[in-house]
Amino acid sequence: MLTLGIETSCDETSVAVVRDRNEILSNVILSQLIHKKFGGVVPELASREHLKAIIAVYREALQIAAVEPEQIELVAATYGPGLVGALLVGLNFGKGLAFGWNKPFVAVNHLEGHVAANFLSHKDLPEKHLTLIISGGHTSLVLVDGFGKYRVLGQTKDDAVGEAYDKIAKILGLGYPGGAEIDRLSQSGDRRYFRFPRGVMKEESFDFSYSGLKTAVALHIKALPESELDEHRADIAASFQEAAVEVLVNKTVRAVTELGIKSVTLSGGVASNSRLKELMQEKLGALGAKFYFPPPSLCTDNAAMIAAAGFMRFSIDGASPMNINAVPYAKLYNSIC
Ligand code: KG4
Ligand code: ZN
């Protein structure tokens, strides 16, 4: 089945054509640069930029896939979570295409899209696995028993890990979004330069907290004379990263051990992080668990993952009602215990 996927939940305008759940014919991603000068996403500007770009991005996706509109069999678009104005652009564009073409439409949860990025990337991925969804808006540890069946083991109680990366990058003068920059700068820094607090929460909990770490790093930087900040920028980045990543790895490893998990995946923008992948590989390898992650282009927001998730959702539930609305705080619901 050929699915046209549309993603506009935040600051990427993306349209893709995907066959079934793992053959990408095109995946056009336009990242909005306008937000850089504000140091974060400005919701109203995001909606306007999506409106300006969506038709050109859609045309390019069809052209690269070498597919005519009549060949598309299903239209999938993100309905939430995300910025409401941004979501509405892609959702309504998708509904309009499906209505005009008389093809089924399916609304996709963005988090299910991130989960689907691993099914899309790995044909051999076992249905049952543990996934860590880590992005600018989310930090969740989720048990997956096949697409659509989830148990959320834990999530952040305050900031998302990507949000902490972006905030610290901004304070360090590294621009927005800064996760990848911190990752790069950390490679020349000393991760033992300073031990920042690990937001472990209660020992038995799989929940996360990143606001304490964010504040501790911000206060550390504030107390440093300008010259020392210049000298230790890479060390601070590396020490922050070590604290941020260690908590993710430790909670994942504990879940693997306690629940007898055999396979683990990462998804979301922070899944591109090199130190995280290195530590996960080391610790999960020692436990004999298999470790999967998508290529960087499928970690950050993209429409190919939405098309793949749309195809799988359609196979389970059929088409969505055409009056479905954007849901800014949509969640992944527990459907297994
Ligand atoms: O999944 P995504 O594109 O958007 C959301 O759904 O939020 O994730 C974006 C987040 C940003 O916070 C960005 O700084 C972070 O992913 N990110 C990284 C890296 N690449 C992107 N964080 C750490 N290391 C990276 N290499
Ligand atoms: Zn995302």
Cα distances (Å, whole numbers) of residue 22 to 25, 258, 262: 10, 31, 22
Q: Residue 199: what pLDDT?
A: 80
pLDDT tier for residue 335 given thresholds of 50, 70 and 90? confident
Q: What is the DSSP letter of 102?
A: T
The DSSP bridge pattern shows strands 2-7 and 12-19 to be antiparallel
273 within ligand 1 shell (Cβ under 6 A): yes
Residue nearest atom 3 of ligand 1, based on CA coordinates: 300
pLDDT tier for residue 16 given thresholds of 50, 70 and 90? very high
Higher pLDDT, 134 or 333: 134
Specify the 3-state DSSP secondary structure of 258: helix
pLDDT tens per residue, range 83-122: 999 999 999 999 999 999 999 999 999 999 999 999 999 9
**What average pLDDT does range 234-260 have in this prediction?**
97
- Give all strands of the β-sheet with 23-31 in edge-to-edge order: 23-31, 12-19, 2-7, 74-80, 105-109
Residue nearest atom 7 of ligand 1, based on CA coordinates: 136
165 within ligand 1 shell (Cβ under 6 A): yes
81 within ligand 1 shell (Cβ under 6 A): no
Q: What is the number of the ligand 1 atom nearest to the C-alpha of 184?
A: 26
Q: Residue 295: what pLDDT?
A: 97
DSSP string, 45-74: HHHHHHHHHHHHHHHHHHHHHT--GGG--E
**What average pLDDT does range 249-267 have in this prediction?**
97
pLDDT tens per residue, range 266-282: 999 999 999 999 999 99
Q: Is the pLDDT of residue 140 over 90?
A: yes
Higher pLDDT, 39 or 54: 54
Pair of tokens at residue 287: 């436990």
**What average pLDDT does range 185-214 have in this prediction?**
92
**What average pLDDT does range 3-16 have in this prediction?**
98
- The separation between CA 34 and the C-alpha centre of its own chain, rounded to angstroms, equals 20
Q: Is the pLDDT of residue 202 over 80?
A: no
Specify the 3-state DSSP secondary structure of 116: helix
Mutate to test the pocket of ligand 1, among 135, 187, 276, 329 (most ligand atoms within 8 A of CB): 135
Which domains can be identified in the chain, with CATH numbers? Answer: 2-114+298-317 (3.30.420.40), 127-294 (3.30.420.40)
* Interatomic CA distance for residues 246 and 229, integer angstroms: 24
Q: Residue 90: what pLDDT?
A: 98
Percent of the chain with pLDDT over 70: 100
